[in-house]
Amino acid sequence: MSKRAADRPQGVYSPVLTPFNADLSPSVPRFVAHCRALLEQGAGLAIFGTNSEANSLSVAEKRQLLDALLDAGQPAARMMPGTGACALPDAVALTRHAVSAGCGGVLMLPPFYYKGVSDEGLFRAYAHVIEQVADERLRIYLYHIPPVSGVPISLGLIERLLGAFPGIIAGIKDSSGDWDNTAAMLRDFQPRGFDVFAGTETVLLETMRAGGAGCITATGNVNAAPIVALYRSWHEAGAEQRQRALNETRAIFQSYPMIPAMKATLAQRQGDPVWATVRPPLVELGAAQAAQLAQRLAVPAA
């Protein structure tokens, strides 16, 4: 039986898309408005995730955006900022700021530039951040996304971190795309109070049936309400049908570059072409692609 506390992050979290102005600076008003809309649909805010273009943002920009949400009165307990970085001082600074703001947790990539690093090296990296932040409120959710980072978080490393930092190492987002790996985490670590979030809604039902905490998913940006509905009703009749509908929508977005596709959808829905802007090296969808995507989604005109 899971030891998950009622006040710990659970449910559906969205790695919030970061809107950019034409000059590529973050658009703070759009960001705050999008976060507010996600919260109203029942989703939490995994700001500065992969789909936030987080590694195209500076530390100062991330602090600015987090502070803007706090200043707007958005609940810090429903935020799980991404604070992992290749430079340990950056990870420490972002993590310390998130903890001091009262965020429900932080989602932390391992240092990801050097490949083929050992579990010992990764353990030292996480330990350094924990020891430098030195705050009992810290809750780290490991971010396992080897298809992108190239640096996996092994089951052995999780075991060691849990042993050394119980309570602080609070869970994981598993974006490996390997259900056997997710199942192993659920079996071995979830009963110890280590909350496992799927990295996609396509396995949300399976994750919940195995005792998981929910999912942290890109398409939460554009399909939050139906994903939240499945999370809340996964044990009820019709769950498989709801899961299939989510998978169909996800498949449409996955047939395009995901971040530009989601931004194009928000631009169309809101009648705001600025939303389509991405930071290089990403490139926005072309007009024909965006029109085709809108048609496939049957997006109503703004």
CA 302 – CA 298 distance, rounded (Å): 12
The SS3 of residue 244 is: helix
Active-site hit among 143, 231, 256, 263 = 143
Q: HSE-up of 176 (CA within 13 Å, CB side)?
A: 19
Q: Which has the closest alpha carbon to 96: 106, 110, 109?
A: 106
Is 173 catalytic? The answer is yes
Choose, from 13, 62, 141, 173, the residue flagged as catalytic.
173
143 as an active site residue: the answer is yes
All residues at 6 or more sequence positions from 162 whose CB lies less than 8 Å from its CB, including other chains: 169, 189, 192, 194
- Give the CA angle between residues 268, 274, 275 to the nearest 5°: 55
CA 221, CA 35: separation in Å to the nearest integer? 9
Is 259 annotated as contributing to ligand binding? no
Task: Please state the residue numbers annotated as binding site.
Answer: 216
What residues are labeled active site?
143, 173
Task: Please state the residue numbers annotated as binding site for pyruvate.
Answer: 216
